[in-house]
Chains A and B, each alone.
Chain A
């Protein structure tokens, strides 16, 4: 065994807050490139893997989704504490996007409507909604923004390859809001 193989691989995590999971689907759309990527990185936490606890020292965390509930809020604060490079992945994380459609209406109006006139039994059944669905960077510090709905597999591949090579990816022209 050579010494390079002894050195631990960088740890990658992905987190799913208030979003449609499309960004994670896009991540999976990397197809065969996932295999080569996984030789360079250790996927330690993700909705895609069976791991209940977020590890203490993650190198890169990709966050999909807006911060919409108390549970999202707790989670992202915890993730930030244990992550070196936090990436807002996709429009919901970057701008709050579709989840933010509710923002001008107010929580009460939304709950009235979706629970047929009555408020659901909170917080026993579902997490409390925050007043607004917010972009991740309004809650914690974000190191890299990857807009797109969703960012393409190519974009995510570029982001990860560059970050793993300890470079800052230049995403101009590759992705943008909405695309």
Chain B
């Protein structure tokens, strides 16, 4: 695989040509915000937080799905980008019902962290207050749709790592919702193996273990990289 040299935020660096901007930047200590990207599963490109500016291109590019190339000049931080990122995170807060102080993931939540990183101290867009449900039918886990940001990390991990494909997204647009199997209670799902990978992959308190109180749910999806590496070696 060819190695290419490029510049990210004025910093010279090199990366393999099959790597994306997000990973090359990360390897060099530059963090690009994202909520849908997770190492160990496929890229999605849906949260749009990792949009970066590439010199010579009028369009913004999602760093998680844009491969590095020779001579590329990338900018990951600008007033414009941070403005866009703030609005997108605000959109997520208004789309669901996110009430941090009563959430199992309070203080262990990537959406909450993101709002802090982006210096969001209030939400200027109107809240939508959708009527959403909580599915507590599973023996071990709970799905609280109020906190779901539709990043599809659970969908991808269940399909690509566990091979069960219990989760998927039904509906479209603002009506999109996460469903198990053919939209039946999670506890009645025939495909779910109760492996809990979706819970670990979930960036918010939407998927959590039963019996956890506010702030108690700590997640660690790092094992997915290990599984992905094992799988890659085997094949």
Contact = CB atoms under 8 A, between A and B. Distances in A.
Contact of B103 (A94, A104, A173, A178): A178
A88 interface: yes
A142 B121 CA distance: 12
B190 to A, nearest CB: 30
B159 to A, nearest CB: 30
Given A149-B101, A177-B100, A137 B122 contact: yes
A105 B107 contact: no
Nearest to B113: A176
Interface of B: 93, 97, 99-103, 106-107, 109, 112, 115-116, 119, 121-124, 126-127, 129-132, 146
Nearest to B132: A104
B102 A101 contact: yes
Nearest to A149: B101
A145 B131 CA distance: 27
Contacts of B132: 104
A61 interface: no
A103 B107 contact: no
A135 B90 CA distance: 14
B122 A142 contact: yes
A146 B131 CA distance: 28
B107 A178 contact: yes
Most chain B CB within a 10 A radius of its CB, from A95, A97, A101, A135: A95
B112 A176 contact: yes
A176 B127 CA distance: 18
Contacts of B123: 95, 135
A132 interface: yes
B11 to A, nearest CB: 24
B122 A97 contact: no
A100 B115 contact: no
Contacts of A177: 100, 112, 115-116
A146 B121 CA distance: 7
B97 A171 contact: no
A117 B228 CA distance: 55
B127 A171 contact: no
A105 B119 CA distance: 31
Contacts of A95: 93, 99, 122-123
A84 B103 CA distance: 35
B107 A179 contact: yes
Contacts of B106: 178-179
Given A104-B131, A105-B131, A97 B119 contact: no
Contact of B126 (A100, A138, A145, A179): A138
Interface in A97-116: 97-98, 100-101, 103-105
